[in-house]
Amino acid sequence: MKLLEISGLTKSFGGVVAVNDLSFSLEKGQIMAIIGPNGAGKTTLFNLITGVYPPTKGSIVFNGRDATGLPAHRIATLGIARTFQNLQIFNNMTVLENVMVGQHTRSTTGLMGAVFPMGPVQREERKVVENSLEKLAMVGLADKAMESAPNLPYGRQKMLEIARAAALEPELLLLDEPAAGLNSTETRELVNIIYELRDRGITILLVEHDMETVMEIADQIVVLNFGNKLAEGTPFEIQNNQEVISAYLGEEEF
């Protein structure tokens, strides 16, 4: 079953066509990688899918529903979550609070909380905490829950962002360069976390420059070049595609 269908998607910024007439689809349960040189339009594609800005042309269908041009908060409620190429960690919060952000539908400080001290608001809050701790455990940060988030090393902060996105229990998770800045041990952990997410039924779309990781985990790869789709296929097909090799991969072995 197709979870995401992108058709003729185009985004222009003034004279720059960042994404140009792009079409591809993503099967439920797949891990798909978007690769391509710097400035190819990968992050712009993520920003279009998540409603950061509307496309200039084309359509985005998620779960059979037209999601084209919907604002970011609506896209999130449809079941799409993401992480960012540049870390977005709240520095004045604990690790746990950073995962809890975004899950709240109601505030515990409101009138309901004051009037019913053991009521539905508290139960809701406890569910949020439990869910957040479970996601922290999944990324290996259970014992860091009460630490100040900026005290974590960079690699841990990236895992924290994945935990936050996973805590929204999305159907589709977009990861923008999750391996960037990670050492080889952390990259192994990341690969295992991505498999765990997939095993939990989450479909994964990731942008990544680390070709070893991409070729290992991706079921399908879409190659972007100057906003255009240069190729699409399995890791084997992409590694043996002459156009891709000359535009991006070079002649090195993978």
Q: Is 13 in the site for ligand ATP (CB under 6 A)?
A: yes
Stretch of 32-40, 62-70, 75-83, 108-116 contacting ligand ATP, by CB under 6 A: 32-40
Contacts of 13 (CB under 8 A, 6+ apart): none
CA–CA separation, 91 and 22 (whole Å): 37
Measured from the CB atom, the residue of 44 and 213 that comes closer to ligand ATP is 44
Smallest distance from ligand ATP to CB 175, Å: 13
Smallest distance from Mg ion to CB 209, Å: 9
CA–CA separation, 121 and 254 (whole Å): 52
Tokens of 205: 């779309």
Q: Is 40 in the site for ligand ATP (CB under 6 A)?
A: yes
Phi and psi of 35, rounded to 5°? -125, 165
Measured from the CB atom, the residue of 138 and 223 that comes closer to ligand ATP is 223
Residue numbers 71-110 binding ligand ATP by CB under 6 A: 85
Tokens of 239: 């590694």
Measured from the CB atom, the residue of 38 and 242 that comes closer to ligand ATP is 38
> What are the residues facing 32 on neighbouring strands?
205, 220
Candidates 6, 22, 32, 44: give the one binding ligand ATP (CB under 6 A). Answer: 44
Measured from the CB atom, the residue of 124 and 208 that comes closer to ligand ATP is 208
Smallest distance from ligand ATP to CB 126, Å: 39
Q: Is 213 in the site for ligand ATP (CB under 6 A)?
A: no
CA–CA separation, 23 and 5 (whole Å): 8
Q: Are strands 57-62 and 2-13 parallel, antiparallel or unpaired?
A: antiparallel
In what helix (H) or strand (E) does residue 119 lie, and over which residues does it extend? none
By CB under 6 A, name the binding residues for ligand ATP: 13, 16, 18, 36, 38-44, 85
